[in-house]
Structure formats: C-alpha cells, structure tokens
Amino acid sequence: MSSAVIDIPKQSDVDYRIPAVVGRSLQVPLVTGEHIGYANLDHGASAPCLEPVQSAVDELLPWYASVHRGAGFASQVCTRVYEGARDKLRAFVGARRTDSVIFTRNTTDALNLLGRALPRGTSVVVFDTEHHAALLPWSGPRVRRLPAPETPADAIAALDAALAECQEGPRLAVITGASNVTGEVWPVAELAKVARRRGARTVLDAAQLAPHRPVRIGELDVDYVAISGHKLYAPFGAGALIGRADWLNAAEPYLAGGGATRLVQERSVSWTTGPERHEAGSPNTVGVHALAKACETLAANWPDVVEHEETLLRRLRAGLRGVPGLRELRLFDADHDRVGVVSFTIDGQDPGLLAAALSAEHGIGVRDGLFCAHVATRRLLSRAGSDADRAVRVSVGLGTTAEHVDRLVNALRRLVAMGPVWRYEQVDGRWVPADDPRPVPDFLG
C-alpha cells in the first residue's frame, strides 16, 4: 500500500491569514466504518460559508423583519441593511456610480434577467465553451455562438470578427471570467476592449472568478457583472447583476408583483425604475446581507486568499502529474493563468466511480460529469485525447488545506494501482457504494 503513497513536499509554513470557513472540522463517515475530516474539493460548485458571514447572519437574525414597507424599527434596520448591501457590492466590483445593483438568486438568474432586458434586436456573441448559465439565456436569430478558441489570442480575434459581422443595432458580448471546467482565466479586459471598439456591451460571468480574484468593472471595462453568493462563501440564496442601468430601466420587469410598481390602478400599472423594478416580491434580506459580508471579507483579504489558492493549486497540479494515465483538461497552455479548478480523466478509470470511491473511502468531495458546460467539456475531453464521456473536477478554496490535496493525490494513486476496496453499483446512472453503511446525520431523521 505504501508504494501508492507519494511524497509531496509539505506546504511552506507561511501563516496565511485567510478567513475561516464554517464546517472546517466536519467529520464524515467512510464505508469502512471510520470517520475522517471532510476534504471539500468542490468549492467550484458551492463554497462553504465563511465564519464572518455566519456571524453577520447571526447578528442580523434577531432584527429580521420586513424590508421597504414596514414602519417598525426592525423593518427600518433591515431596509438599511438591504439597501446598504448594494453599496457594498458596488464597492466589491468597483462599479460606476450610476450602475444598478440588482439582487437575484444567483448568476443564472442574473444572466437570465439581463437576457430579458436586452433591447429588441440585440445581437449577442457568446463562446460555446460557456457554462450553460451564460450560454443559454440568449435566444433568437441574432445569437452567434463561437467555437472553442485554441488560444486567448484566438478568442480575441474570433470575438472581433464576429462583432464586425453583426447587423446594425445593440450588441452584447458574453465573457466568462474563469472556466468552471478548467479554471482557466479568460482575457477579459482584452475581449472587452475589442467589444468596445465594435460598439458592443459586455457581460462578465464572474461566478467562478469573483471568489478567487478581485473583479474590477472599471479596470476590465465591462458593462455588466453577474455573481453568485453560494460560490462566494455566502450560501444564503442571493446573487447579483451589477451594471448599466439604462437597458434595465427600459426593460419589462423581470418579475411582476409588489415592490416593482409605482402605481397600480384597475386597468393599468406604472412600474418603478431602479433595481426594485426587477426585484418584485419580498426580498432575501439575509442572503443579501451574507453576500455583502462575504464581499467585504474577501476584499479585505485578497493577497492572502490568492496566495493560499495559488499554493494549493501548484501543489495539486504537481501531485496530479504523478498519477499514471491522468489527462488534465485545458483549452490554453499548461502554464496559462487559472483559478483553483482542475478537471481530468484517468485512462481506464470511470470518472463517476472514481468520484464515488474518493467520497466513500477517503472522505473527499469532488464532482464528476460535464459540469453544466456540456459542449465545452466534450470538446476538452476530445482535445485531451480522452475516451471518457465525463470528467472528474477538483476545486480548491478557503476551506481547502494541503492535507486535503495530498489525500486526494494519494487516494487517486491508490485507486489507480489497486482499485476501490468497496463494491459499487450504478443507481440511476450514478455510482454508489453497494449496501452503503454510512450513517446520515441525525437531523436527516
């Protein structure tokens, strides 16, 4: 067994002052009967809650009351919390003074909102490598999908050419900050520059970038940014669309209902302008407060956050290089800038079975599949020369330690060398441990 364990250099003894996450001492059961500290290597899907975010939520909850319409003192406190959060998000992304901050459920919701707010006849250009949240909200004959580029320079040239061919009228270029499949960072500022030159607006899908790097609207010169709280260590159901107010103020309200209206009469409605136009219904004050706190916390800690993740990512990729038959998925060069996400296949290994065994036998949470980016992942698999129809994705963040990374690498080497110790079966297309003996937490009943 020891031959399957590799010796990875220990993490330097840098004392990162990164914010702690809730659940960092969570123990999970293994099929073999023991319990082990949970290695959450799935931050790219949803990140754990930051402790300062949990404290902020705890602080707010006794005050929790209605927002906007309540006359009570607690309602007024909550209204200030909710409206104040807009300024905190504006500061987080360096938004222009006139930008709207509209609270949504997540990035998918934010991009769908923008999709519905586009002026009639808007041409949209989008790479088909996008996450479905950024690929699918645009419809009609004026949507142009660009194939996966070979290099960042190809991406810029392809966008330039596509925008040059657009018909007269408004134009929107959809740009991703960082890929949720490969972690690769896209040349956002350069793409935005080309778009600007061609008279197009840009929307940045920052779901995967914003938790890892500062995103500054002014420096990138993008028009809209979409983010998700649950990827930003604030898993309370809020996200946001931040950007130019004019299209949003002119669009039909995203949701029809209370809060979005100025005056309703028997046969007519006058809708309000500003963010409330698209936020009908009772808002998610707790989620918005949590998101604002997460943004403030990250903004106060960027150098350490980035260093922590880069150290872990280097360690992860170095370890994975030693796993026999492992093929990393990537669009650009191996040394291209990336956030802490790595997807791969291992020759002769079923990705779903690997993911199930990592969880059941090693207490490691990863994701397997096509990651809501079907076109992109299939293309990446084929580029990597893999014959698998899905991949394994590992993603690190503030809840990740060097031990988690080492445990993953050692577990993969062991699985490749010896196979799983447990028996697995497929249920509804997913591998699960046969006769899974792991107890679920008491609260599940």
Ligand X SMILES: Cc1ncc(COP(=O)(O)O)c(C=O)c1O
Site string for ligand X, 419-438 (x = CB under 6 A): --------------------
- Quickly tell me which residue has 């290597």 as its tokens: 41
Would you call 372 a catalytic residue per the annotation?
A: yes
Does residue 360 belong to the site contacting ligand X (CB under 6 A)?
no
Note whether 412 and 401 are within 8 A (CB).
no
- Quickly tell me which residue has 């419809």 as its tokens: 139
Q: Which of 90, 131, 171, 198 binds ligand X (CB under 6 A)?
A: 131
Angstrom distance (rounded) from CA 402 to CA 411: 14
Does residue 228 belong to the site contacting ligand X (CB under 6 A)?
yes
Angstrom distance (rounded) from CA 209 to CA 214: 8
CB of 154 to ligand X, least distance (A): 20
Does residue 182 belong to the site contacting ligand X (CB under 6 A)?
no
Q: Which of 106, 122, 123, 386 binds ligand X (CB under 6 A)?
A: 106
Which of 49, 78, 166, 372 does the annotation list as catalytic? 372
Torsion sign (Cα): 157, 161, 164, 170: negative
Q: Applying CB under 6 A, which part among 65-73, 128-136, 164-172, 330-338 lies near ligand X?
A: 128-136
And the tokens for 82? 């909710």
Note whether 274 and 328 are within 8 A (CB).
no
Whose Cβ is closer to ligand X: residue 297's or residue 395's?
395
Q: Considering only residues 132 through 161, tell me which ones interact with ligand X, judged by CB under 6 A.
A: 133-134
CB of 181 to ligand X, least distance (A): 8
> Cα dihedral angle (314, 316, 317, 319), rounded to 10 degrees?
120
Whose Cβ is closer to ligand X: residue 108's or residue 311's?
108
Whose Cβ is closer to ligand X: residue 131's or residue 142's?
131
Does residue 343 belong to the site contacting ligand X (CB under 6 A)?
no
Q: Which of 112, 208, 297, 400 binds ligand X (CB under 6 A)?
A: 208
Which residue of the chain is nearest ligand X when measured via CB?
180
Containing 80, the helix (H) or strand (E) segment is helix 73-92
User: For ligand X, how many residues bind (rule: CB under 6 A)?
Assistant: 15
Note whether 373 and 131 are within 8 A (CB).
yes
Whose Cβ is closer to ligand X: residue 46's or residue 249's?
46
Q: Give, in degrees to the nearest 5, the angle at Cα 304 between 303 and 306.
A: 70
Q: At what angle do helices 51-60 and 285-299 cross, to 10 degrees?
A: 140
Whose Cβ is closer to ligand X: residue 241's or residue 360's?
241
Angstrom distance (rounded) from CA 73 to CA 64: 11
And the tokens for 297? 């916390």
Whose Cβ is closer to ligand X: residue 107's or residue 349's?
107
CB of 226 to ligand X, least distance (A): 7
Q: Applying CB under 6 A, which part among 126-134, 159-167, 354-362, 396-404 lies near ligand X?
A: 126-134
CB of 330 to ligand X, least distance (A): 16
Compute the 3-state secondary structure of the chain and give helix, strand, coil in percent, each to the nearest 5: 40, 20, 45
Does residue 284 belong to the site contacting ligand X (CB under 6 A)?
no
Does residue 42 belong to the site contacting ligand X (CB under 6 A)?
no
Q: Shortest CA distance to 305 belongs to which of 397, 376, 192, 391?
A: 397
CB of 46 to ligand X, least distance (A): 8
Whose Cβ is closer to ligand X: residue 340's or residue 363's?
340
Torsion sign (Cα): 308, 22, 55, 292: positive
Q: Which of 205, 350, 361, 368 binds ligand X (CB under 6 A)?
A: 205
Cross-strand pairs, 172: 124, 201
Q: Applying CB under 6 A, which part among 130-138, 166-174, 192-200, 358-366 lies near ligand X?
A: 130-138
Cross-strand pairs, 433: 424
Does residue 176 belong to the site contacting ligand X (CB under 6 A)?
yes
Reading phi first (left if > 0) and then psi (alpha if -120 to 50, else beta), residue 48 is in beta
Any idea which residues carry the catalytic annotation? 372
Residues binding ligand X (CB under 6 A): 106-108, 131, 133-134, 176, 180, 205, 207-208, 228, 230-231, 372
